[in-house]
Amino acid sequence: MTESARTPLPGATNGCSCCAPAADATAGRQSADPTGTSAGDATYQVEGMTCGHCVGSVTEAVSALDGVDDVRVELVAGGASPVTVTGPASADSVRTAIEAAGYRVRI
């Protein structure tokens, strides 16, 4: 059996946070300033998501927080994706979970 050269996934070379090598978690860190959309909802503008796996990573990380009832993500590949969180979770805990998953919350 011969081994062929492997090519990286497209997302791994264009900055996809879920597939790219881990970067310094503090790089590009910005403060969260969520906008409320209705009682109990807050929307965060998240950068670095490029695919469905990214959406799943953010959804899983935020859903695991106490006080999160629902998470909705509208993927905007190459831009800021709105992440709407329903429930009484604090903005700091949501921001921390998103950044721990490898993404940036912009102002």
Domain residue extents for the chain: 41-106
* Tokens 């807050």, residue located: 42
What pLDDT is recorded for position 107?
72
* Sign, Cα dihedral of 45, 48, 51, 52: negative
Q: Would you identify the CATH topology of the domain 41-106? A: Alpha-Beta Plaits (3.30.70)
pTM beyond cutoff 0.85: no
Each of the 107 residues of the chain gets a pLDDT tens digit; together they read 555 454 444 444 455 666 655 443 333 333 345 655 455 899 999 999 999 999 999 999 999 999 999 999 999 988 999 999 999 999 999 999 999 999 999 97
What pLDDT is recorded for position 6?
47
What pLDDT is recorded for position 100?
97
Which residues does 8 contact at the CB level (< 8 Å), separation at least 6?
A: none
What pLDDT is recorded for position 40?
82
